Amino acid sequence: MSRLATGGHIDRNTELAFTFDDKAYLGYAGDTLASALLANGVRQVATSIKYGRPRGIMSAGVEDANALVQIEAPFPEPMLTATTIELYDGLVARGLQGRGRLADAPDPARYDAMHAHCDLLVIGAGPSGLVCALTAARAGARVVLVDDQSEAGGSLLGSRDGLDDWVSSVITELNSLEDVRILQRTTVFGYYDDGFVLALERRTDHLGAAAQAHLARQRIWRIRSKQVIVATGAHERPVVFADSDRPGVMLAGAARTYLNRYGVLAGRKIVVFTTNDSAYEAAVELGDAGTDVTVVDARTEISQRWAAECASRGITVRAGHVVTGTSGSDRVTTAHVAPYLDGEPGARQGISCDLLLVSGGWNPTVHLYSQARGRLRYEASLGAFVPESAVTGVRVAGAAAGLFTLAGCLASGATATADVLGELGLPSTPLELPSVEAEQKPAPGLVLWAVPDKREDTEPCHQFVDLQRDSTVADILRAVGAGLTGVEHVKRYTTIGTAHDQGKTSGMIACGIMAEALSTHERHVDIASLGTTTFRPPYTSVPFAALAGRDRGEIFDPVRVTAIQPWHVAHGALFENVGQWKRPWYYPQRDPSGSVEDIESAVLRECKATRESVGMMDGSTLGKINVQGVDAGEFLDRLYTNLISSLKPGFIRYGVMCGMDGMIIDDGTVARVSDTEFVLTTTTGNAAMILDWMEEFAQTEWPELRVSLTSVTEQWVTIPLVGPRSRDVLASVAPDLDVSNEAFGFMTWRDARVAGIQARICRISFSGELAYEINVSAWDGLTVWEALFDAGQPYGITVYGTETMHVLRAEKGYPIIGQDTDGTVTPHDLGMSWVVSKKKLDFVGKRSFSRSENQRSDRKHLVGLLPVDKTVLLAEGSQLLATTDVSVSPVPMLGHVTSSYRSVALDSTFALALVRSGRERIGETLQAWHDGGLVAVTVTDPVLYDKEGARRDG
Amino acid sequence: MQLIRCPWCGSREEAEFHYGGQAHVSYPENPAELSDAEWARYVFFRDNPRGPFAERWVHSAGCRRWFNAIRDTGTHDLLAVYRIGDPRPEVAT
């Protein structure tokens, strides 16, 4: 065991049993999976994605590129890093080779979202963040403090700075303040303008099977803050050398964290390879813990303080040396050490070890600052990019700002908060900062990206840069050799920085190696000019389940149903989605033997019954807009292609609207209610768009017109009663209404009682048959529907759905806007010149009709098609050709099929199509490309049924 | 999630708004008198500058009112918002 008897933030009285790669282990409460594995002596955790090399634990946090595991139980979850999984009893996990597996069972957990608003959001509860949060909270600011660990403290958790009591006292005080919210186990993963951030809170993951099912397992926080302080610390970066990917090679700071936070010795015979002073703390603390430590420092001059500290502990320091490579099979057993002179390693010598710690310096965690469009500056002494200045509402404090002493971090938190409070107009009283050892100025670090590999027997492909992607120095050199000079290009060519960790340990190093590779004797390319790749959200992986939250399954998108929906369901309707609406598609009948009609026979039956006797359907989804005002008629004249203002109350007119470009955007009917009120209808799927369109003109183009618009779609239930016996049915339920053609003519409306309920009845027809559209309040919709259905029984009334509606209208050549048109079709193209007013001086789209492009004789026209073989149902979208020769491509296309159905009335299949110069081709035979072959079709007038309109009045 | 200041409702999240293209593009006085090219310029052509740009927005999930805004297209900063009919304000750039 590598666990120390005392120390750390773990609870040795609470043992946790877990399984990793099918072996049972024990850990303690407070462990991560990584610390528990290290405590149990497990070194190899995963296997590399491309080369299958053994990989271990390289860090103690989110930056780990190696330790990818799959959780199998209690919640299957793919591809997490062992360093970020809090250990719980019953955890079953397995190491991965680069890719996770999605669970094959549904996720039973709940996920949700919360909003928070505050004056100051502090991201990171390390020394800087705690100073910020407490100072601001005492000043009366509403503060949210977010931290990704299970407890506050940040870097203090992994150090021996002795500030544990201070951290506790700060948290206790913050918790006592009303306007403070502390979110632990919460990662801010993106900054999205104007102080808005998204964060992921892991609420019950750490409880394993003990998590209560009613609690959301994870929660997305949407936080809007007036001011933000980014105190996210820094990530240590390694140095690249041959075979640095072996298990047992670890970042120096991580080993400190395992020692001080988890009481785990990650090794007993340790080589510390560093380019800067920070790793000496690890060397000294591990030495004090009884391990055998050798320091290899690339610098020839090291600080006297650390030389003395090492000497007093018997720690050997090899200044001016580097590690050039490692040996070992599934774990490191030897570090190859060589003198380092003038950038070249000399003769190497092996030092046996079971842990090789590396520090190449620290990269400030500038992700969120950069996402807030903060500018970065390359700091050559650190070999890292640091924030250049504050951006509006966003400040950076502590190590994230490039400060690497505890005293400096505490002070920068105080400064940042004073600035924030100034902007918020709150009094700022400086916090009494905890006294910390006045640190001596560290000796300058050496910026070293990669140790040259001089061995002849080794390809540079063993010098790994991005360990998760198995990308190497050789890959970068190949990219540069291929002529790539930008960091974004090299990133994509090599895939460095594209894995789950997004290059937290590899990105900076890749920039450095690239700059060196691009530099020649004549021209030095510095990193500052190369810049970094863009820091995009999310900072760490976010489960889609969390982003989806409650918006999944039935409540993913609202479902709109009409008041008659229960009847449709009870009568076996199948539904189609039209926008958010559920519309009955057809009503398959069950015969006495129990077999159910297919769509083809159901639709033929529904069509036949409607044309021969009477049918009814639910038309309530049709968009309905109420237009009121003294200028309502003038307003509609400007939007419709035809004249509306001349319509008299009690009458209805069909109308078409076009865009400025003259293309049809919608059609429908307009009923005049009074001098100052109209009700117009729109296509079901276009209702919202047309209301917006009209509103835009009312507000922006013609604000002088007195008109107001209201959607009344959901207030009315609309029931078309269709067919030669519809008059008889209506008469039986509306005894007060004179339903004769003379008294109640086509394209008029009457108010009357239907089944005792006040109704507005419109004589309009979308089928060519005698038809009445009965409109009642949605509350009464079902009552009237059932009354009509009962009254229709003597005539065998048949309820039909949208498919039959489509067949009936297509037989009459009535287009559906959006199906038979596609935004490139004018009223003239549809053969509807009659709907375009010649009297009106202007209306939306008018001038475009006379554009030469819209006057061409070879525009596509709406026509009908009859397949020569009456049984062939053309696929909608089929291309139409004038030739049977398809051997030479491109084959000249004439147009395409827009609608295609079987017709019982025509005893044939038929189609509508847009065909170039279509009206001049009536009578011609064209070829349709259908089902991999050619089908002969005859071009006809679009009206195929009752061309003379004899059926309209019954 | 950017905040947009509706002149009627105050600051609201951008998801409540829809974009309406360039502002102050007047409908031609007499379209019938325009050449095809002049009419096409009105229908199809809009400016696309880098920097301050006067454009139309509608608070579609709020008061449903249209308004104008000056937005820096390089930074997305909204430099000014003003009501339909108000003159375009001067903005410091």
Please indicate if any CB of chain B lies within 8 Å of the CB of A638: no
**Residue A460: pLDDT over 60:** no
Spatial distance between the Cα atoms of A538 and A427, rounded to a whole number of angstroms = 35
Q: What is the pLDDT of residues A151-182, one digit of tens each?
A: 999 999 999 988 999 999 999 999 999 999 99
Amino acid residing at A587: Y
Q: What is the pLDDT of residues A316-338, one digit of tens each?
A: 999 999 999 999 989 999 999 99
Q: Which residues of B touch A192 (CB under 8 A)?
A: 1-2
**Residue A559: pLDDT over 60:** yes
pLDDT score at A889: 86
What mean pLDDT value characterizes chain A? 95
Residue of A700, A839, A840, A851 best to disrupt the B interface, most CBs of B under 10 A? A700
Q: What is the pLDDT of residues A803-826, one digit of tens each?
A: 999 999 999 999 999 999 999 999
pLDDT score at A390: 81
Q: What is the pLDDT of residues A69-116, one digit of tens each?
A: 999 988 889 999 999 999 999 999 999 988 898 888 888 899 999 999
Please indicate if any CB of chain A lies within 8 Å of the CB of B33: no
Question: B66, A660: Cβ pair inside 8 Å?
Answer: no
- Of the pLDDT bands very low, low, confident and very high (cuts 50, 70, 90), residue A591 is confident
Spatial distance between the Cα atoms of A898 and A914, rounded to a whole number of angstroms = 7
**A619 vs A524, higher pLDDT:** A619
Residue A160 · residue A7 · CB < 8 Å: no
Q: What is the pLDDT of residues A393-413, one digit of tens each?
A: 999 999 999 999 999 999 999
**What percent of chain A clears pLDDT 90, i.e. is strictly above it?**
91
pLDDT score at A648: 97
pLDDT score at A92: 97
Comparing alpha-carbon positions, the chain B residue that sits nearest to A661 is B43
Question: A846, B2: Cβ pair inside 8 Å?
Answer: no
Over residues A351-361, mean pLDDT: 98
- Give exposure, A774-812, as e/b (b: 16+ Cβ within 10 Å): bbbbbebbbbbbebbbebbeebebbbbbbbbbbbbbbbb
pLDDT score at A293: 98
Q: Residue A880: CB partners within 8 Å, gap ≥ 6?
A: A865, A893, A894, A895, A896, A897, A913, A915, A926, A927, A928, A929, A937
Each as own residue / partner, the long-range contacts of residues A407-413 (CB below 8 Å, 24 or more positions apart, any chain) are A407/A436, A407/A438, A407/A439, A409/A126, A409/A127, A409/A128, A410/A127, A410/A128, A410/A131, A410/A434, A410/A436, A412/A128, A413/A127, A413/A128, A413/A129, A413/A130, A413/A131, A413/A132, A413/A135, A413/A229, A413/A231
- What residues of chain B, 35 to 54, have a C-beta less than 8 Å from chain A? 36, 39-40, 42-44
pLDDT score at A161: 87
- What residues of chain A, 213 to 232, have a C-beta less than 8 Å from chain B? 222, 224
Tokens 């039209």 correspond to A578
Q: What is the pLDDT of residues A876-902, one digit of tens each?
A: 999 999 889 988 888 999 999 999 999
Question: B39, A692: Cβ pair inside 8 Å?
Answer: no
**A106 vs A922, higher pLDDT:** A922
**Residue A546: pLDDT over 80:** yes
- Of the pLDDT bands very low, low, confident and very high (cuts 50, 70, 90), residue A461 is low
Over residues B30-56, mean pLDDT: 96
How far B92 CA sits from the closest chain A CA (Å)?
Answer: 17
Q: Which residues of A touch B40 (CB under 8 A)?
A: 851
**Residue A304: pLDDT over 70:** yes
Q: What is the pLDDT of residues A834-874, one digit of tens each?
A: 999 999 999 999 999 999 999 999 999 999 999 999 999 99
pLDDT score at B91: 86
pLDDT score at A221: 98
**Residue A492: pLDDT over 80:** yes
Q: Which residues of B touch A851 (CB under 8 A)?
A: 36, 39-40
Question: A847, B1: Cβ pair inside 8 Å?
Answer: no
How far A659 CA sits from the closest chain B CA (Å)?
Answer: 10
pLDDT score at A814: 97
How far B90 CA sits from the closest chain A CA (Å)?
Answer: 21
Q: What is the pLDDT of residues A229-266, one digit of tens each?
A: 999 999 999 999 999 999 999 999 999 999 999 999 99
What is the bridge-based pairing of β-strands A110-123 and A143-146?
Answer: parallel
Question: B58, A696: Cβ pair inside 8 Å?
Answer: yes
pLDDT score at B41: 96
Residue of A196, A391, A692, A699 best to disrupt the B interface, most CBs of B under 10 A? A699
How far B52 CA sits from the closest chain A CA (Å)?
Answer: 19
**Residue B93: pLDDT over 80:** no
Which H or E run includes A927?
Answer: strand A925-930
Question: A842, B66: Cβ pair inside 8 Å?
Answer: no
Over residues A918-939, mean pLDDT: 96
pLDDT score at A442: 81
Question: B1, A193: Cβ pair inside 8 Å?
Answer: yes
Comparing alpha-carbon positions, the chain A residue that sits nearest to B86 is A700
- Of the pLDDT bands very low, low, confident and very high (cuts 50, 70, 90), residue A458 is low
Q: What is the pLDDT of residues A684-728, one digit of tens each?
A: 999 999 999 999 999 999 999 999 999 999 999 999 999 999 999
**Residue A779: pLDDT over 60:** yes
Please indicate if any CB of chain B lies within 8 Å of the CB of A660: yes
Question: B27, A701: Cβ pair inside 8 Å?
Answer: yes
**Residue A904: pLDDT over 70:** yes
**Residue A378: pLDDT over 60:** yes
pLDDT score at A801: 98
How far A715 CA sits from the closest chain B CA (Å)?
Answer: 20
Residue A892 · residue A886 · CB < 8 Å: no
Please indicate if any CB of chain A lies within 8 Å of the CB of B92: no
pLDDT score at A455: 64
pLDDT score at A229: 98
Q: Which residues of A touch B39 (CB under 8 A)?
A: 847-848, 851
Q: Which of B20, B43, B84 sits opposite A848 (nearest CB)?
A: B43
Over residues A784-790, mean pLDDT: 98
Comparing alpha-carbon positions, the chain A residue that sits nearest to B2 is A193
Comparing alpha-carbon positions, the chain B residue that sits nearest to A700 is B84
Question: A699, B66: Cβ pair inside 8 Å?
Answer: yes
**What percent of chain A clears pLDDT 70, i.e. is strictly above it?**
99
Size of interface A-B (CB pairs under 8 A): 53
pLDDT score at A462: 87
pLDDT score at A888: 86
- Of the pLDDT bands very low, low, confident and very high (cuts 50, 70, 90), residue A564 is very high
The complex scores an ipTM of 0.97
Please indicate if any CB of chain B lies within 8 Å of the CB of A677: no
Please indicate if any CB of chain A lies within 8 Å of the CB of B29: no
Least confident of A107-121, A513-527, A583-597, A630-644: A513-527
pLDDT score at A457: 56
Spatial distance between the Cα atoms of A336 and A130, rounded to a whole number of angstroms = 42
Q: Give yes or no for a cis peptide into A364 (omega within 30° of 0).
A: no
pLDDT score at A79: 92
**Residue A41: pLDDT over 70:** yes
pLDDT score at A436: 84
